[in-house]
Structure 1
Amino acid sequence: MMALLEIELPAELQSPQKQIGQFIRRTQSICPECNRILPSTVFEREGKVFMTKTCPEHGETEELYFGSYDMYQKFATYWSDGKGTHAPNVPIESCACPANCGLCSNHLSHTGLANIIVTNRCDLTCWYCFFYVKKGLEGAYVYEPSLDQVKEMVRALKAERPVPGNSLQITGGEPTLRPELPEIVKIIKEEGVDHIQLNTNGINLALNPNLAHILRDNGLSNLYMSFDGVSPKTNPKNHWEAPYTIESCRKANLGVVLVPTVIKSINDHELGGILRFAQRNIDIVRAISYQPVSLTGRMKKQEREKYRITIPDCIERIEEQTNGEIPRDAWFPVPSCSPVTHFVEAFTKRPQYELSIHFACGAGTYVFEDKDTRKMVPITSFVDLKGLFEYLDEKTDELNSGTNKYLVAAKFITKLNSFIEKDKQPAGLNLSKLLVGALLKHDYSSVGQFHVRSMFLGMMHFQDKYNQDEERLQRCDIHYLTPDMRIIPFCSFNVIPEWYRDRIQKKYGISVEEWEKKNGEKLESRLYRGQLRRGKHADGCGCSAVHIEPITGT
């Protein structure tokens, strides 16, 4: 594990030591007021995990880090550092995280998912959003990279080594405001990116159903659609529009991932309802990506406590709101899948795509719909994942020590069924056959069946200035591509916008006034006026039967 560049305050500025709870580890963070890099302590108190740091100018900040110490301990056993990149984009010998991102030599993960911002304009004004350009603010710039810039950024992603980037998200703002969006998708596909997803509120695909077909034909893999709840109160942005978007995608055979931003006291009571919504549309909804909110701007501790929710808190609510169908022990941290990567690398002797983010960043599980009971069955109810991962680690060690790979493969095939209770598998699923095909034969065609027959439940908690942890940042694999050919971790780009996002958008964007003059329209002219909510349905809109009766978490 690469050590952080230690930042120590002068003795006269260090706060007196106090009893805060059970010590877990030291890391580094930043002051939420001035961005000063600070020593930080992660500790346990009353079954929860907290972080504390003290700025000599702005005092102490204590913040909830992880809502369950038990889950923190379980997840921590899967800590696994990745390969990093062989040729950092920022060639600096000694980097002081997070001041030299782009990627630097300290970074321990290659790009798992790259983001390209195609516009920072949006047709909504969501109260919690930190991103879209707001007219009237000092330093507001419209950022819309050219098609040539998009191509060059994608080439920088594909040039990563030892693992070229192969998964990209088109994001904003609202990307569908760019009329060149279909061409952008086509360019990215032609540059060799296999997986392309569109981060969107989905409204323009509801108003223009043919857009889903066009994007799919040009190479789009799936929609990554914001969806914050199952009622107009919790999801005012697209409650009425989402059924039409889903229907458009169904007709285009374009998969959908639902993306709820989870805010305590606002919509955390509907996490189970969101799952039921997805289940009703399991033929086209491939996944849910729950995202506990990042708290941006200056907020007092009392206000942060009102809205702060962490991964364990969300997992517990899902268990409660599904009557135990999705228990908390069904979830594993993202790096738990590293044994799969390491096994394939040892078997093929080639570097493989690896999800090596920090264990506190994200979690996931797979669920299957039982055809008879209509209940959702997590993969952990018929697969011993922990045992399987440990066995893969054992076989990886054998391969790395020189054992014949065909002998290892024979052992693997023989042993595999001991981790799977076949009588509990969903009807029609042969997981053993799928795993043998993927891990030994490198045939991933059957993996698509796994996704279609199931739904992935993911959890990703992006950081903010209050809970920022440099150990998490150095392992981030969700990155932004920028026109200056840097590749910047998400939680630098957005957590410290004055260092990264705002500078990039100012340098490569134009002022709002200049954009309005150039395009002959006002920035606010593209704001969505809620046509579908007033019954002005666009021609060709279909409606998925998802709001006919109330959706609950039970």
Structure 2
Amino acid sequence: MKRISTITQSLCPICLKKINAIIWNENNETYMEKSCPDHGRFKALLWRGSILRENWVRDKIPTTIKNPNTMVEKGCPYDCGLCADHRQHTCTALIEVTQRCNLNCTFCFANANNDKDQDLSLETITAMYQSVWKTSGNCNIQLSGGEPTLRDDLPEIIKLGHKIGFEFIQLNTNGIRLAEDEPYLKQLKEAGLDSVFLQFDGTNDEIYKKLRGKALFATKIKALENCRKYQIGVVLVPTLVSAVNDTDLGNIIAFATSWLPTVRGVHMQPASYFGRIPNLPVEEKRLTLGDIMDKIEVQTNGRIKKETFTPPGCENARCSFHGNYIYEKNGDLTPLNNPSKCCKKETAEEGANKAKAHVARKWSTKDHPDETAKPLDAWDEILARINQYTLSISAMAFQDVWNLDLERVKDCCIHVVDPNGKLIPFCMYNLTNKEGESLYRK
């Protein structure tokens, strides 16, 4: 039976005007329907799975933006910067240091190209860092692109961020240069790089050929070997596409456990329809968070139960899930999460602070075990195991113009810094209409 659960606001996929939308449930599926007076009706799948969307909640007390960059004039989503109506602090600020790339991926949020003139100057990057510090303080920084390792001065960019005061700086990369240029990786480490967010779509080259246009699995292995040598923590980041790599989730997780403690987590991102995409969405093929949780349980033969995943404390509950697991000596993955604790309401600011600390602690460099060290007693061995062999498994579903819920946008804690220093929620910065036109990305 069809049941309307929420009335919200969205955008028309053609003209990007704000329109009303209804969210309704039927069986294990949740849909959004909306209508534009000029361009007609649209329907998008929001959720599908044995865990129901209506039960995937985590109440938070909204926060206020202490130093908003923009005035509220037109209303969400047209005043991003952050504006005073935004309900969450910045957990991660993403700076695109270049639009150049050494791949031509089928799916690309940034629609990256090879225009060197679009590299940001060090002066501009410094100003962007300063704007983030003024608005959000010591949040986590992710350097992205394009492919940021195409910049020879990336070590200097990392140093600039630490000099201003940012304690955690992560690199979002396809790993090609990390595999091919070990001295460059050493420079990044010496500059203070804390973590690598590594594009990692699967465990065989057929997947990479379909999504990235070439065989890359051996390159990923070499990048991991070099990161292990310099003790840089790595998070594997698969972009999930139905009928391409959604049957490889169990293999990806097994691969990650074999690379502990260098690999700190797996962070899955189901494909969203913005930037560079091969075609318009076929809603039946869209992967949702509910799908992914179900697939993980099946593909790990029940070693990871979907009930061990929890909604986020930082962003909107419907944006992501996460779980932390100890990899035991017998190969078991023991959950560290306590889902019952998610019932406690906390402020959005508390959630953001916990998320920042979690990422910095769980995803950063870990000292590798010393094989020659004196044997530990039982308790110390347990603590060492937790420190070295904890794997974070998470997923984040970015919104596109077809399934956009502005209530989720207001809770966003991952913000792209534009060259003018404004902080734009990730989905809004990358969002494009049917013709590829954007509200914020230039």
TM-score bracket for the superposition, by shorter chain length = 0.7 to 0.9
Equivalences for residues 258-407 of structure 1 within 5 A? 258-296=236-274, 303-305=281-283, 307-335=285-313, 355=314, 357-371=315-329, 373-380=330-337, 384-386=338-340, 388-390=341-343
Report the CA distance shift for 1:258/1:469 in structure 2 as closer, same or farther (over 3 A).
same
Show structure 1 runs of 5+ residues with no match: 1-19, 336-354, 394-424, 431-445, 504-554
Amino acid of the structure 2 residue aligned with 1:456? S
The 2-side partners of 1:476 and 1:141 are apart by: 31
Q: How many angstroms apart in 2 are the aligned matches of 1:142 and 1:304?
A: 36
Alpha-carbon distance between aligned partners in 1 of 2:429 and 2:283, rounded to the nearest angstrom: 24
- How many Å apart are 1:452 and its aligned residue? 2.9
Select the residue among 89, 94, 97 that pairs with 1:110.
89
Q: Deviations over 1:13-41 (max 9, x none)?
A: xxxxxxx9201111110111111111011
Alignment TM-score, normalising by the size of structure 2: 0.85
Q: Does 1:193 align with 2:166?
A: yes
Letter in 2 for 1:239: F
**Residue equivalent to 1:227:** 200
Q: Give the counterpart letter for 2:2 in structure 1.
A: G
* Aligned positions, number: 402
Q: Is the 8 A contact 2:101 2:113 kept in 1?
A: no
Percent of aligned pairs sharing the same letter: 31
Q: Distance in 2 between matches of 1:294 and 1:188?
A: 30
Q: How far apart, CA to CA, are the structure 1 residues paired with 2:41 and 2:228?
A: 51
Contact 2:106 2:278 in 1 (8 A): no
Aligned equivalents of 1:80 and 1:390: distance in 2?
10
Q: Is the 8 A contact 1:210 1:248 kept in 2?
A: no
Name the counterpart of 2:29.
48
Tell me how far apart the structure 1 counterparts of residues 37 and 438 of structure 2 sit (CA, whole Å): 21
- CA-based RMSD: 2.4
| Partner residue, 2:16 | 35
Separation (CA, whole Å) in 2 of partners of 1:299 and 1:211: 33
Q: How many Å separate the matches in 2 of 1:119 and 1:84? A: 31
Deviations 1:163-218 (A, max 9, x none): 51420000000000011111101111111101100000000010012222211111
Q: How far does residue 131 in structure 1 lie from its aligned partner after superposition?
A: 1.7
Greater strand percent: which structure? Answer: 2
Q: Contact 2:90/2:414 (CA < 8 Å) preserved in 1?
A: yes
Partner deviation per Cα, 1:398-448 (whole Å, 9 max, x = no partner):
xxxxxxxxxxxxxxxxxxxxxxxxxxx999335xxxxxxxxxxxxxxx9xx
- What is the alpha-carbon distance in structure 1 between the residues aligned to residue 190 and residue 116 of structure 2? 32
Q: 2:121 aligns with which of 105, 125, 146?
A: 146
- Match of 1:131? 110
Separation in 2 of the partners of 1:389 and 1:62?
31
Contact 1:290–1:459 (8 Å) recurs in 2: yes
Q: 1:493 aligns with which of 391, 411, 429?
A: 429
Structure 2 CA distance for partners of 1:451 and 1:262, relative to 1, 3 Å: farther
**1:133: Cα distance to partner?**
3.6
Secondary structure in 1 aligned to 2:282?
helix
Asked if 1:465 is matched to 2:404, the reply is no
Aligned pair in 2 of structure 1 residues 392, 488: CA closer, same or farther (>3 Å)? closer
> Whole-Å Cα distance in 1 between the matches of residues 168 and 324 of structure 2?
20
SS of residue paired to 2:186: helix
Structure 1 position 306, deviation (Å):
5.3
User: Post-superposition shift, 1:58?
Assistant: 1.5
1:263, 1:227 → 2: CA distance? 13
Unaligned runs of 5+ in 2: 347-377
Q: Distance in 2 between matches of 1:168 and 1:85?
A: 19
Q: SS in structure 1 opposite 2:53? A: helix
The aligned counterpart of 1:531 is: none
**Contact residue 266 and residue 393 of structure 2 kept, 8 A:** yes
Which residue in the other structure is 1:119 paired with?
98
Maintained 8 Å contact 1:287/1:455: yes
Q: How far has the Cα of 1:450 moved from its partner?
A: 4.6
Cα pair distance change 1:296/1:71, threshold 3 Å: same
Cα distance in structure 2, aligned partners of 1:284 and 1:299: 34
- The CA deviation string for residues 339-394 of structure 1, in whole angstroms up to 9 with x for no partner, is xxxxxxxxxxxxxxxx2x111001100011111x21222224xxx441x455797x
What SS does the corresponding residue of 1:27 show, helix, strand or coil?
Answer: strand
Equivalent residue for 1:348?
none
Counterpart residue type for residue 128 of structure 1: F
SS class of match (1:332): coil
Kindly provide the CA deviation profile for residues 311-334 of structure 1, in whole angstroms up to 9, marking residues without a partner as x. 110111110000001111010011
Residue aligned with 1:54, SS:
strand
Whether the 8 Å contact between 2:430 and 2:438 is mirrored in structure 1 is: no
Distance 2:255 2:60 in 1: 34
Q: Any conservation in 2 of the 1:259–1:288 contact (CA below 8 Å)? A: yes
Local SS of the residue matching 1:272? helix
CA distance in 2, matches of 1:173, 1:158: 23
Task: Select 2:44's aligned residue among 57, 60, 63.
Answer: 63
Residue 180 of structure 2: aligned partner: 207
